[in-house]
Each structure stands twice: as C-alpha cells, then as structure tokens.
Amino acid sequence: MSVFNGYDRDQIYEEMDGPSKGSSSKAFNIISKTLSVALLLSLGFASGSLYSTYQKNNNYNERTSTTPVISTSTNNNASTPYTLSHTDISSVVEKCANSVVEITIETQNTIYGYYTYKAEGNGSGVIITNDGYILTNNHVIKGASKITVTLRDGTQYEAKLIGKDSKTDIAIIKIDAKNLTPASLGNSDSLVVGEVAIAIGNPLGQLGGTVTDGIISALEREIKLDNSTMNLIQTNAAINPGNSGGGLFNANGDLIGVVVAKSSGFDIEGLGFAIPINDVKNVINDLLEHGYATNRAFLGVSLKDTSYTTNNGGMSMFSMFMQSVNYGAAVDSVVEGSPAEKAGIQKDDIIVSVDNEVVSSSSDVTSKISSYSVGDKVTIGLIRGNKTMNVEVTLAEYKGE
C-alpha cells in the first residue's frame, strides 16, 4: 500500500470512482487538499531556484563589475580536480580562447660577416589587457626584427616589444587594438596534482587556437632551460613547438601558467611544462613600467660550460699529472661597463668559485649570482691561464639586454 502526502493513494482512487454524492464530495475534498500541498511544494522549489539564480548572478556581477587593467581571478581555491566533460571544456574554451594569439617573428641573420638573410619563427601569446598588452615567452620574440600578432578571428597586427626578462623567460608585447578579451590571471599556488589543465596555443606555428586537455601532472619541477633552472608546472596536455607563450588554463578558465616547453624524443609524450602564473605576476608590472625586471643582481658576463684541464706539475716531465676536472664556467664575453669588466674579469677566464663556494657549471654561477642583492660585494675565484686569482665584484642592477 502506498501513501501520498498522508493519504492512502488507493483510498483516493476508490473514493473518486465511488457512485454516491457523499463519496464524491469526500473525494473532492481530499483531492483539493492534495493539490494544495503539491502547489505549496512547487512554490517552495521555485523560490529556492530563483534565490539560487539571484545569488549566482549577484556573485558574478560582484566579480566583474570592476575591470582592472590586468584581470585577476577572485577564485583563490584550486579548481575541481576531476575530469571535465566535453561540454564543460567547451565552456572553458568559450571563455578564454579569444585571449590566446598567434605570434610570428622575423629575424635578420648574418653569416660569414656579410651574407644576410631573413628567418621566421612562431609561437603563441596571451592577451592580458583589453587594450593590447600580450604576455609571451622571451625566447619566442628573442632577436625579432618584426613581430606579427594574429587574433583568433584572423585579424593581424604588428607588435612592439615593451619589456622582457630572460630569467623568467617572460616578455610583454603591445598591439594597437581595443576591446580585446584579456585572460583572467589565476592562482598557481593553489594548484593540486590531478586537477584539470587545458592548453591553448599555436602548435607547429600553423594550427592557431588548438585546444588540448589533460591534468596537472606535477608541481615545482626543476627543469634546466637555456642554462637556467626553472620551477615549472608539468602537464600531460599535448604541447608542441609553437605552443610556447600560450596559455595553460584551469577548469574555471583562469590562466594558471604560460607554456614554455615540452620534453621531446622518439619515445617521449605527455611531458609539457608551463611557468606558474604567480611567478609571472611578480615581473609583469616591472616589464610594463621599466621594460626589465628590477632589483636583479648583475655580474655582466656571458658564460659557457667547460671541462677545465688543470696542470698540477708544469709543462714537461710532470705533464702526466694533467687531469680533466669537471668544474667551472668559461667567460665567453664581458659586457662593456659591467661590474665584471670593472673588476678585471676577461674573456676566456674560468670562474671556479663564488664567495669561496665551488661552481661546476654556468648555471651554477647564474644561480648563485641571482641569490645576491644589487650592491652586494662578491668574491669571484678565477683561473687565467696557469694562474689562480680572486677578484671582488660589486653587483649592479640588471637593466635588460
């Protein structure tokens, strides 16, 4: 026997079908009460739905009522670490795809000192303001004589370089455009391994607007790129050449990283990396205001790794004691007017220590110098020919290339 709102459902049917007027009247009263209860429940559900909708719209209006120059997400929590449906992914793409652009560069190259030719490179970028400031990798625009930006709708603009920082591999360029769709900057500190990651970029330099999805595979991966060690986000979203400078987004459509590299090889797939957006935020304002990242200690040398051969016993009968030692970094060039030049450091010197700590590579030297502040005095241990020496260097502020 089933019961409906306190009444015996079979009893209701029986009284409704009964022949007597009294029974019909009684059935009518029961039906009226039942319909009244149902109506009240319906009104309750409707009110709840309207209130929920109001709250959602109110929260959205609060987030978007004031648009900053650079839009930053107010959601500081990690996005849902579950796989999104195709519908969910399409809604994320709808929100942020217009923020990602294609970048093409031209470079002027000279060989043998007189023959000049043009070369072309490609990458991606992310719009960060509605009036045309675009975030990308420094290595994407490095050496460019011309930078062309293509929006998602196919419109092309010539861009100018605003600022760049080789340490974080970040650059900002600008196009003369209005009413663009800037990305909302998320919070990479709140990421968790396993949550959704969506990459949008220009793989192979020909497939602009390509969307791939995956998860956050790991956080704070120490990866060495161009003699510099970086702490990166690892993802298994498909990354290819040309994706560099593009966006890595979370399930809310917030920018959580700037794609920087993929690990490649015959049997390597699913290893992509991005610069955490919180690391990028730290230099964006500097690049916008100064064109370079401020308060960076600067030595003023270009270095290359070397396997230094030391002679422990002279040039003749003791030559048997010649041995290869894997430490030090060779000075490839010295910046004119730099702290290194003022201290007497020369091309082909081997830097073997920084403040009496042995260095084994060029990245070692770079890492140690970056740990100092502008104005610090540092003792650099050198080998020049068969002589060892120490020089004291007062570090200056790096002001870009």
Catalytic, out of 71, 188, 244, 361: 244
Q: What's the sign of the alpha-carbon dihedral 334, 340, 342, 346? A: negative
Burial class (CB in 10 A: 0-12, 13-18, 19+), 237: buried
Whether residue 10 lies in the annotated active site: no
List 165, 169, 254, 349, catalytic entry: 169
Contacts made by residues 25-33, CB under 8 angstroms, sequence distance 24+: 33/5, 33/7
Structure tokens at 328: 């030090």
The CA-atom distances, in angstroms, between 63 and each of 56, 57, 91, 181 are 11, 10, 18, 16
Is 401 strand, coil or helix? coil
Parallel/antiparallel/unpaired status of strands 255-262 and 272-276: antiparallel
CA–CA distance from 146 to each of 118, 123, 173, 230 (Å)? Answer: 11, 13, 11, 28
226 is annotated as an active-site residue: no
In this structure, the chain runs to a length of 401
Catalytic residue among 139, 217, 349, 361: 139
Q: Is 290 known to be catalytic?
A: no
C-alpha pair distances (Å), 165 with each of 124, 246, 284, 338, 376: 17, 17, 10, 18, 21
The answer to whether 209 and 153 are in contact (CB under 8 A) is no
Catalytic residues: 139, 169, 244
